Structure 1
């Protein structure tokens, strides 16, 4: 009789351990699925934002004095896509990461679709150098503007050679 009882107890313990193990495995698999689903949702939202972001160069103007060998150029950019956050933007001016020493951005928290923002590059030398400004908007997409000074040290103006909006392709 002792042997019959030990087999029953052993079977009950094994059955309980198996059920508890399956319960733990199910919970682990469910948590993993939820985490993957949330990550996929976040990635899709980021891709959608990247695909719907768009800045356009609306206008530009320069300010200078005739007796000074530098000028400021102001670009007006219009948001033709999703809402952007200018405080998160980063700039590369003439191939160098700029820490806002030469770049002044209109102080707004969000750039809504249809709204415009002013970005000014200060103290640009009046010479024939082609200058460039890359604005990384934090969505994975960037705006690039190229311009040059046309004229001499006393008379002339900044002339935009081109602007482009580009987003990296998915790899």
Structure 2
């Protein structure tokens, strides 16, 4: 017994409709995921281009009989909201140094100040130190300073600070 023409036609028609339905659902899903990824990428780019930290001032603590000092940097967020718990600190080329104490806040809003402290820095003249506060958007604030004077009488002096975004095209 053979299958009649109308039955074959009906089977092919139904399978074609089901196939197109599945293709449409797949295409819509891909478009939705692409659209969501595009929105997230645009939000990340906006945050990247509007994020900025600035060094406002600094202070230090030491005693004359010690050969080390602690230096604290007062940093202001002049850009978009950032998350200090996601920051990385590079002190004198070492990432994640235990000498650096950063803020533990979940968020830093625009205009807010935070303090980052480098502890137990040796009082040695003519040695340049650096600290990079690397944010979650890939940009960082670099601060360079040195000790002026000798180990019993002196003070730290900031040479300069700069905000840079190496991931910008």
Q: TM-score, normalised by structure 2?
A: 0.94
Task: Verify: 1:121 aligned to 2:112, yes or no.
Answer: no
| Alignment correspondent of 2:95 | 97
Where does residue 106 of structure 1 map in the other structure?
103
Q: Distance in 2 between matches of 1:69 and 1:118?
A: 23
Query: Counterpart of 2:58?
Result: 60
Question: Residue by residue, what CA displacement relative to the aligned partner does 1:114-161 show, whole Å, maximum 9, x if unpaired?
Answer: 110111000001112100001111111111100000111111111111
Question: Match for 2:160 among 152, 159, 162?
Answer: 162
Deviations 1:40-74, CA, capped at 9 Å, x for gaps: 11111111111111100000111111111111111
Partner of residue 43 from structure 2, selected from 42, 45, 53 = 45
Q: Which runs of 5+ in 2 are unaligned?
A: none
1:144: which partner in 2?
142
Who is 2:4 aligned against?
Answer: 6
- Distance apart, 1:88 and its partner CA: 1.2
Number of positions where the alignment pairs a residue of Structure 1 with one of Structure 2:
168
CA RMSD across the alignment = 1.5
- Residues in 2 aligned to 1:60 and 1:52: alpha-carbon distance in whole angstroms: 24
Runs of 4+ in 1 over 4 A off after TM superposition: none
> With structure 1 as the length reference, what TM-score do the two structures score?
0.93
